[in-house]
Structure 1
Amino acid sequence: MDWTDLPPLGTLVAFAATVRHGSVTKAAAELHLTHGAVSRQIQQLERAIGVPLFERRHRAVVPTQAAITLAASVNEALGLLSSAARQARRATRSAPLVLSCEPTLLMRWLIPRLPSLSEAAPGLELHLSAAGGPVQFSREGIDVAIRRNDFELPPDVHAMRLFAERIGPVCTPALAHGLTGSADLAGLTRLHTRTRMSAWPEWARLRQLPLVAAPERTFEHFYLSLEAATAGLGVAIGPVALVHNDLAAGRLAAPFGFEADGSAYVLLTKHPPDGDARVLALHAWLLAQAAELTGG
């Protein structure tokens, strides 16, 4: 085969995304690249094939006729490559399923429950990766991901609901004793996390209560703020999934219960899950584990 005329694959991906969106900025956002990186990819492709592909106009790029013709073939070729890669992955059934999960949920909820997975889905092997936010499936080698749907999902990502997010103040049973109203919180240190600074105001809004002044302490990660609450350093906002084990063991108490904040945890896949029995088995197991979170 003579592939000497084939441009770099990265330039074709950037080109196809720009044609689809009619915008370098939107293409860069989809590909998680900078505006300049996508522009350079397009310029490289134009040099490689020797023809201009876009007319640069104010705040927009308009594909030329050559670009429109090329885009049709590029999209078809990328589709074939994606399909081939998907088939190759499915053919390797012995490979572990790579699951990305938000770090605190992974440590405090998922990992303690993994022993029961081998009974529910014999032969299903998971490789765990701790990460949050938007998922770059192919680039990061991820098959499925658990995320809270507090960001816009790309249209080609499939989401399967797991459980609703419910939040509430948590502290040691000793500190919880005598807490009957939000005014009682004024005497306790309010624990924050930089990864979710809106947690306390959001809970107060849901309860339609004023957020009374109180001493405050901020931690870098959610996990640390919950550990501080368990140690008796103050009161933290605890999503129910992250504190369920501590509540059951009596290490934490939730004196005001929990409120649904409108978001939910979902299982994300790049491709429709119907063709992968491993993903379906994992989803069913996760739903069974999530059933314990519906009360309280």
Structure 2
Amino acid sequence: MTRSSHRPLARTLPLNALQVFDVAATELSFARAADRLFVTHGAVSRQIRTLELALGLSLFERRNRAVFLTVAGEKLHATTRQMFEQLATTVATLHPSSPSDTLVVSCEPTLAMRWLIPRLAFFSQAHPGISLHLHSAGGPVDFESAGVDVAIRRNDFFWGHSLIAEPLADEWIGPVGLPTAFDALPISHLHTRTRAHAWQDWQRAMRAAPSPERLERWKRFETSATPATPPFEHFYLSLQAAGAGLGAAIGSVYMVCDELNAGRLVAPVGFIRDGSGYVALSREPFADNPAKAALLNWLRTALAQSASRWIANVQ
């Protein structure tokens, strides 16, 4: 492809439509995207159609009043998600505020998208003198080269002996899906490559559960599963698929609590500890840095509040 062949697309690609696409792809619903963007359902559809015409590709499949990303749509969404996150971070740095502490926080992608980002405004209200710059990443982190101050991770890997690890919350997991998904069994189990053993971890935890009632509900659910679907590449995609009615996914209570509270998802068997948890990592003790200490305490409190309604009656 010649250099000049790139120019027409760059000049005509509708940037507003890209933003609408990004929201619609995240929600997997034109109606919910319209609510978030404060526009009509028709406006979302027109923007998506404009983008598809500009690219010459279908980005969504429309079936039974639901929308699903095509292969091209998934690839584009992976880029637009990072693009708009980076844009928001950059814009925030263009407006120097009053003297404040700035923390660069690295957080696992699904936890960042589905839990932390919706609560950043609450942190800012509680700690107006601390500015958070969020990076979405998982697994090991090179604090120095990435310029990271605090990393929020699930404790499912070895991070070495040089880092300070402070516990944040236990992980609670359980099957989730649409309110109508569990009305007629059997139901498809949705899998993800990034948590390949999520269903096995849940089954193991349920076998060890002390509650006979929970165990009986689990047996009914376990025997209802249809053959496994091909795994999704990322954990958040399996949760998006559950929200689109494709089956049941194993969800972390923190990552689905907002949708449970809104009634968009249900967890018919509840949640149970899977033995893992979330930690905050730092190169220095949190107590030595007031901003880090404030973030640590806020994270612990906010995570506990998010889970409390859904684990209150668990023994």
Name the TM-score class by shorter chain. 0.5 to 0.7
TM-score w.r.t. structure 1 length? Answer: 0.63
Give 1:94 shift.
4.5
Partner Cα separation in structure 1 for residue 121 and residue 101 of structure 2 = 19
Partner Cα separation in structure 2 for residue 253 and residue 236 of structure 1 = 11
Partner Cα separation in structure 2 for residue 147 and residue 96 of structure 1 = 20
Give yes or no for the alignment of 1:269 onto 2:269: no
Q: What does residue range 111-122 of structure 1 map to in structure 2 within 5 Å? A: 111-122=117-128
- The answer as to whether partners of 2:101 and 2:291 remain within 8 angstroms in 1 is no
Give 1:168 shift.
0.5
The residue identity in structure 1 corresponding to 2:179 is P
Q: What does residue range 211-290 of structure 1 map to in structure 2 within 5 Å? A: 211-212=222-223, 214-217=226-229, 218-290=231-303
Secondary structure at the aligned position of 2:170 is classed as strand
Which runs of 5 or more residues in structure 1 are unaligned? 1-92, 179-183
- The answer as to whether partners of 1:162 and 1:267 remain within 8 angstroms in 2 is yes
- The answer as to whether partners of 1:161 and 1:265 remain within 8 angstroms in 2 is yes
Give 1:295 shift.
4.1
Q: Which runs of 4+ in 1 moved over 3 A?
A: 209-213
Alignment coverage as a number of residue pairs: 197
Secondary structure at the aligned position of 1:174 is classed as coil
Give 1:259 shift.
1.0
The residue identity in structure 1 corresponding to 2:299 is L
Which runs of 5 or more residues in structure 2 are unaligned? 1-98, 208-217, 311-315
Larger Rg: 1
Give yes or no for the alignment of 1:195 onto 2:194: yes
Identity %: 51
- The answer as to whether partners of 2:174 and 2:270 remain within 8 angstroms in 1 is yes
1:87 maps to none
Partner Cα separation in structure 1 for residue 236 and residue 287 of structure 2 = 34
- The answer as to whether partners of 2:286 and 2:296 remain within 8 angstroms in 1 is no
Partner Cα separation in structure 2 for residue 177 and residue 250 of structure 1 = 15
TM-score w.r.t. structure 2 length? Answer: 0.60
Give 1:119 shift.
1.7
1:63 maps to none
Partner Cα separation in structure 2 for residue 95 and residue 295 of structure 1 = 33
Partner Cα separation in structure 2 for residue 287 and residue 95 of structure 1 = 20
- The answer as to whether partners of 2:114 and 2:256 remain within 8 angstroms in 1 is yes
1:144 maps to 150
The residue identity in structure 1 corresponding to 2:189 is R
1:175 maps to 181
2:205 maps to 206
- The answer as to whether partners of 2:108 and 2:136 remain within 8 angstroms in 1 is yes
Tell me which of 163, 177, 189 is aligned to 2:169.
Answer: 163
The residue identity in structure 2 corresponding to 1:190 is H
RMSD in angstroms over aligned alpha carbons?
A: 1.7
